Amino acid sequence: MSVRPAAVAGTFYEADADNLRAGVLALLDAAPPPRGPRPEALVVPHAGYIYSGATAARAFRRLQPWAADIRRVVLLGPAHRVPLRGMAVAAADAFATPLGQVPVDGDWRARALSMEGIGQSGEAHRLEHSLEVQLPFLQSVLGDFSLLPLLVGLCPREVVARAVDALWGGPETLVVVSTDLSHFHGYADARERDARTIARIIAGDTGLSGHDACGAHALNGLLRSARAAALEVELIDACNSGDTAGDRQRVVGYGAFELH
């Protein structure tokens, strides 16, 4: 079995398993208790935990009442390191974090590879952080689950939407899109830009660009999917790096959303 090792442990989050587990549980415990209907899909940020971990934790905590029912996670995010056209599943059979290994769902990968626009690339996934940083949260909340890791490059939203609908599955499957919002604007400007983007996401706008959100292609596809069209989009939390651990001259925006 081939394992994709953790690439950003020690930079984006703690490399020591005990410290990582304690840190993630502390972020989850600090989030508001779960309420409302079961999340069918989540949109979460993917920066270092000191920047966006609290916002991500507010989304992942909402899964706790249904954790035993969720056995598969379809995880989509942008490729930051390798130029990518279309979408790419990982070649590895499992993803490792300091908390253990998460198996890749082989049947779901085969299903994905039969679809338009989806190929396989170990190189695109090798150093990519956008999917990896979600795994310790998912491991802490769900326990055992299988993963379909899907990086989304330049790809029409209709193609992504068809893949999302085909891979969503039933109540055993959770869809997670990993994206940050605006990048490297001043604090006040970023807040205004992100407020407009948040309103568009809630309204189901599928015309987002990379200037709005780095994971725009995955997010547009999710919002364009037939399954998502029947769901309500709720903002869980939003902030930027100027609110957490960064200066306010060049900030990155973060938002967490639930579809139910």
Q: How far apart are CA 128 and CA 222, in angstroms?
A: 20
Q: Which tokens belong to 225?
A: 């999917």
Query: What are the tens digits of pLDDT across the range 118-148?
Result: 999 999 999 999 999 999 999 999 999 999 9
Per-residue confidence (pLDDT) for residue 222, from 0 to 100: 97
Residue 231: inside a domain: yes
Identify which of 217, 108, 201 has the alpha carbon closest to the alpha carbon of residue 154: 217
Residue 52 · residue 180 · CB < 8 Å: yes
Residue 26: inside a domain: yes
Residue 44: inside a domain: yes
Which phi and psi (to 5°) does residue 239 adopt?
A: -160, -170
Residue 246 has pLDDT above 90, yes or no: no
Residue 260: inside a domain: no
Query: What are the tens digits of pLDDT across the range 205-240?
Result: 999 999 999 999 999 999 999 889 899 999 999 999
- Domain interval for residue 107: 3-239
- 3-state SS class at 182: coil
Read off the CATH number of the domain in which 23 is found. 3.40.830.10
Residue 198 · residue 255 · CB < 8 Å: yes
Residue 78 · residue 214 · CB < 8 Å: yes
Structural domain tally of the chain? 1
Residue 245: inside a domain: no
